[in-house]
Amino acid sequence: MQQVSTPSQTTLPLVKPHTRLAWVGQLFFIVLGLAVVYILGKNLISNPTLFANIFISGLQLGFVYAMIALGYTMVYGIVKLINFAHGDVFMVGAFVSFFAVTRFNLHQWPLAVFPSIPPMVGVVIGSISVIILSMLICIMLAVTIERVAYKPLRDAPRIAALITAIGVSFFLEYFGALNFVFSPRFIPYERPFEVVAWYIKGGIHQVVPGTQPPDGSITFSNILLIIMLASVLVQIFLQFLVKRTKIGVAMRAASYDKQAARLMGIDVDSVISFTFAIGAAFAGLGGVLYAIAYSSIWSQLGILPGLKAFVAAVLGGIGSIPGAFVGALIMGQAESMTMGYISTPMRDAVAFTILIIVLLIRPTGIFGEPEKEKA
């Protein structure tokens, strides 16, 4: 651990990673990979509908992780900080929408104000208002966290900011667990709109509540579609933002070299705040959709999705936006397939084993470029 305390020395000088992972290690990973392919292939052939249903639940998880992973990867790209409080911002997003729906009936305002509009439109506008409110509050929270906890440590060693991030994360989890905040209990989540499910079996049919779809049907719900749509839109929006806008150029400049960017007249501090705000907005969106999908919330809701999104960001190549997206989809499938074909309690173990394997084989991730260590 002593190497960590000196920021300039980031790799263990003893053994080169490649000689360590000699052919025995590579053989091990090849065998592991073949075993995974064999198990999945066998199950796909023996019961394709079950495989499809498991795949769909993995898609749903993966797209939620993608929305969280973007925040990790963008913040890391610019300030080289793993913002562990990000998962808890996601949790706050879920709670804000819960209070908006149950206490203030925010999802019903369009119908209350304009009773003449079609109910469907009212529900859509109402739900979008709930999501926007959650995103705004998450943005305020994240910008506050950044100003209070991270900005004063901008020039401190990176480990100090990392520890602070863990501290902020714990603060949000346990402050949220107080009885007068969110309480430590599991709270049934009241959805702003109804879940509608369909099954595919010779065409697409709606699932009638109380009757079971026929054998061999693949089911999916409107929540899955909403999550996929939202996640893809977020991805496209970010690509546009980073590649085509002025603030995007500023973000990229700040991520290359903060000093030089500052000399070029870029207000690096507001660029950093903006990055936190964008990440938090998507975490808030993810939090609302996650709560709607799984219908129970509590103050430590964000820990595991947050950590898995972090693994997804590392898998895709931390700092890379498409990488976070692809990594998240892989994580969703890995988790879902583990639940389906190994056992549910193993899923977290598998998720974090993937982190270890990535760090061993390709620490820069799928999309990452080999990092040049700056002096």
Partner 1 sequence: MRSLKVLSLFVILSMILVACGGTGSTGGAKELKVAILAPLSGPVPTFGVSTRDGALLAIEEWNAKGGVNGYTIVPIVEDSQCTPEPAVNAMNKVVDQDGVKFVIGEVCSKATIPISEIGTEKKVVVISGTSTAEAVTVDANGNTKPYTFRACFIDAFQGLVGAKFATEKLGAKTAFIMLDQANDYVKGLAEEFEKNFTAMGGTVVGKESYTAKDTDFSTILAKIAEAKPDVVYLPDYYNIVNLVTKQAKEKGITSAFLGGDGWDSADLDVVAAAGGYFTNHYSPDDPRPEVVNFLAAYGAKYKNDDGTAKVPDALATLAYDAANMLFTAMTTAGTVEDVDKVKTALEGIKINAVSGAITLDAKHNPVKAAAILAVTAEGVKFEASIAP
Binding site for partner 1 (CB under 8 A): 47, 49-50, 53-54, 56-57, 60-61, 185-186, 188, 195, 197, 199, 207-213, 215, 219, 221, 293-296, 300-301, 304, 336, 339-340, 343-345, 348
- In the bound complex, what is the minimum distance in angstroms from residue 56's beta carbon to partner 1? 8
Which C-beta is closer to partner 1: that of 127 or that of 273?
Answer: 127
Nearest of 201, 235, 222, 226 to residue 322 by alpha carbon:
235
Q: What's the closest the beta carbon of residue 105 comes to partner 1, in angstroms?
A: 19
Q: Which is nearer to partner 1, 108 or 221 (CB)?
A: 221
DSSP letter for 146, please.
Answer: I
CB nearer to partner 1: pick between 195 and 359: 195
Q: How far is the CB of 17 from partner 1 (least distance, A)?
A: 34
Alpha-carbon distance 46 to 195, whole Å? 30
Please give, one letter per residue, the 3-state secondary structure of 156-221.
Answer: CCHHHHHHHHHHHHHHHHHHHCCCCCCCCCCEECCCCCCCCEEEECCCEEECCCCCCCCCCCEEEE
Reference 40, options 58, 20, 21, 28; nearest CA is 58
Q: 200 - beta bridge partners?
A: 204, 218
CB of 81 to partner 1, least distance (A): 27
Question: In the complex with partner 1, which residue's Cβ is closer, 143 or 207?
Answer: 207
Report the residue number, 123 or 195, with the smaller CB distance to partner 1. Answer: 195
Q: Give the whole-angstrom CA distance, residue 308 versus residue 291.
A: 17
To partner 1, the closest distance from the beta carbon of 292 in angstroms equals: 11
- Residue 62 and residue 335: Cα distance in Å, rounded? 9
Residue whose CB is less far from partner 1, 284 or 340: 340
Question: Which amino acid belongs to residue 199?
Answer: Y
Q: Compute the least distance from the CB of residue 91 to partner 1, in Å.
A: 12
CA dihedral 145→371→366→279, nearest 10 degrees, is 20
